[in-house]
Amino acid sequence: MTIFSLTEAELRQRRSLKWRTYDPDVLPLWVAEMDSAMLPAVRQSLDAALDHSDTGYPVGNDYIDAYRDSAATRWGLELAPGQLRRGGDVMNAVLCVLETVTDPDDGIVITSPVYPPFWQVTSGYRRRTVPVALTEQGRLDLDALAEAFAAPDVTAFLLCSPHNPTGTVHTAAELSAVAELCAAHGVQLVVDEIHAWLVDPGTEFVPTLSVPEAQQAVVVTSAGKSWNLAAFKAGLFIGGTEAGRVLNGLPPLATQSTGHLGSIAHSTALRHGQDWVDQARAEIAENKRLLTDLLHALVPGARYRAEPGTYLAWVDCTELGLDEPYAHFLASGRVAFSPGRNFSPAHQQWVRINLAASPAMITQAVERMAASLRKTA
Ligand SMILES: Cc1ncc(COP(=O)(O)O)c(C=O)c1O
């Protein structure tokens, strides 16, 4: 079985954002959708629901229990049912938590470069975004975080774990240190773990709530990224053992907006998709090696350090001497990446490349990069 083996012709039948934003001659390796065929068990459970026109509201705790079982098996993380609530999707869950734990005009820390909606969910909702740069190696800068947390109006820290776009997988020691800093400064730790399952084989993902010092944290997650289920909106709020006050303080509708088909799809993926995600991780790790080799051979000025988290590659194109690499590759190479400036104003020279694609597509993308550079030379 190969997960990323759909042909380009098959993928171009899709009507999703990734495949319908650009002209048909553009190869899209941008937004975080996977070029995978659906996990058969998910397909069967959705088919069964549709066969019965079962398109009402969700009931019960199936999604919550599926996550609890999967977290216990995969990471040894034992959660009580009362620590979880269902949400609409991950970014709406983040918004609900931030609105619960902060007041208008409060500062919310994010670590840049970061997934663009992290900027939107802070500054777009009458809060102040306080960006703290990751280190050159893409790690959390604990001194800089401590300095930011010390400001009296900073009341929350929104962390991405594993980190999108760098692929950094935070260690237990880093998470513990961050949690202690948050506690010392009265800052609420909110962690988006939507990429949790997607770490390269041999790397261990550390769930925030497995860290004893982080029990005041609230985690938001879903099966959306790892099993490519963004179309089926569903998310989870998970509170540490000392975060009950935050969970209980969520606005009532926050925990009532899961879609029924979303709940079915995500629960099925968590229950029956562990082998599938392991296969996806192995293929993604291969794709990271492929990208490394291809860039080295064809676009040596592009700097890429493969990190073990996510299927996203964060590539520094500064040495290529382009005004804006994203725009150049789109216009001259007919290949779409995500523009670095969306992740931080300081990263205009970077692009994010989506590696949840076939090796053939990745090869073609780098060949297009190289050809576009020859045109400008
Ligand atoms: C870090 C992160 N959080 C959240 C999301 C989106 O999740 P949802 O569609 O459930 O809001 C993404 C999608 O790429 C993501 O990378």
Q: Tens of pLDDT along 314-328?
A: 999 999 999 999 999
Q: Mutation test of ligand 1: which of 29, 225, 229 has the most ligand atoms closer than 8 Å to its C-beta? A: 225
Q: What is the DSSP letter of 14?
A: -
What's residue 376's pLDDT? 80
Q: Long-range contacts of range 323-330, CB-CB < 8 Å, 24 or more positions apart?
A: 324/348, 324/349, 325/349, 325/350, 325/351, 326/351, 328/372, 328/376, 329/368, 329/369, 329/372, 330/22, 330/26
Does residue 377 have a pLDDT over 80? no
Q: Calculate how far, in angstroms, residue 354's C-alpha sits from the geometric centre of ligand 1.
A: 14
Closest atom of ligand 1 to 230 CA is 9
Count of the separate structural domains present in the chain: 2
CATH number where 224 lies: 3.40.640.10
Inside any domain, residue 1: no
Does residue 173 have a pLDDT over 90? yes
Pocket of ligand 1 (CB under 6 A): 32, 89-91, 115, 160, 164, 192, 194, 222, 224-225, 230, 235
Q: Calculate how far, in angstroms, residue 298's C-alpha sits from the geometric centre of ligand 1.
A: 32
Does residue 375 have a pLDDT over 90? no
Does residue 217 have a pLDDT over 80? yes
Say if residue 196 is in the same domain as residue 290.
Answer: no
Q: Are 359 and 286 in contact (CB under 8 A)?
A: yes
Rounded alpha-carbon distances, angstroms, from residue 194 to 115, 230, 301, 317, 374? 12, 11, 32, 27, 38
Say if residue 229 is in the same domain as residue 140.
Answer: yes
Q: pLDDT by residue (tens digit) across 48-106?
A: 999 999 999 999 999 999 999 999 999 999 999 999 999 999 999 999 999 999 999 99
Confidence band of 128 (pLDDT split at 50, 70, 90) = very high
Closest atom of ligand 1 to 234 CA is 10
Q: Calculate how far, in angstroms, residue 225's C-alpha sits from the geometric centre of ligand 1.
A: 7
What are 105's two structure tokens? 């005009």
Q: Calculate how far, in angstroms, residue 321's C-alpha sits from the geometric centre of ligand 1.
A: 32
Say if residue 296 is in the same domain as residue 253.
Answer: no
Inside any domain, residue 224: yes
Say if residue 242 is in the same domain as residue 342.
Answer: no
Inside any domain, residue 34: yes
Mean pLDDT of 210-226: 98
What's residue 246's pLDDT? 98
Q: Mutation test of ligand 1: which of 18, 29, 30, 90 has the most ligand atoms closer than 8 Å to its C-beta? A: 90
Inside any domain, residue 233: yes
What's residue 149's pLDDT? 98
Inside any domain, residue 261: yes
What are 275's two structure tokens? 């082998």
CATH number where 306 lies: 3.90.1150.10
Rounded alpha-carbon distances, angstroms, from residue 302 to 113, 262, 351? 18, 39, 10
Closest atom of ligand 1 to 91 CA is 11
State how far the Cα of 149 lies from the Cα of 155, in Å rounded to an integer.
Answer: 8
Atom 9 of ligand 1, nearest CA residue: 230
Q: Which domain holds residue 230?
A: 43-272
Does residue 1 have a pLDDT over 90? no
CA torsion sign for 282, 284, 288, 289 is positive
Closest atom of ligand 1 to 235 CA is 10
Beta strand ranges found along the chain (DSSP E):
27-28, 84-87, 107-112, 128-133, 154-160, 188-192, 218-221, 235-239, 303-304, 312-316, 335-336, 338-339, 350-354
Inside any domain, residue 129: yes
Inside any domain, residue 259: yes
Mean pLDDT of 114-136: 97
Atom 2 of ligand 1, nearest CA residue: 194
Does residue 205 have a pLDDT over 90? yes
Does residue 208 have a pLDDT over 90? yes
Q: Is-above-0.85 flag for pTM?
A: yes
Q: Calculate how far, in angstroms, residue 319's C-alpha sits from the geometric centre of ligand 1.
A: 30
What's residue 241's pLDDT? 98
What's residue 126's pLDDT? 94
Q: Calculate how far, in angstroms, residue 27's C-alpha sits from the geometric centre of ligand 1.
A: 22
State how far the Cα of 52 lies from the Cα of 65, in Å rounded to an integer.
Answer: 24
Please give the single-letter amino acid code of residue 227.
W
- Cβ neighbourhood burial of 61 (10 Å; 0-12, 13-18, 19+): middle
Please name the residue that has the structure tokens 């400001």: 151
Inside any domain, residue 178: yes
Q: What's the order of all strands across the beta sheet hosting 350-354? A: 303-304, 312-316, 350-354, 338-339
Atom 7 of ligand 1, nearest CA residue: 90
Exposure string for 125-158, b = 16+ CB within 10 A, e = fewer:
eebbbbbbebeeebebbbeebbebbeeeebbbbb
Closest atom of ligand 1 to 312 CA is 16
Say if residue 60 is in the same domain as residue 184.
Answer: yes
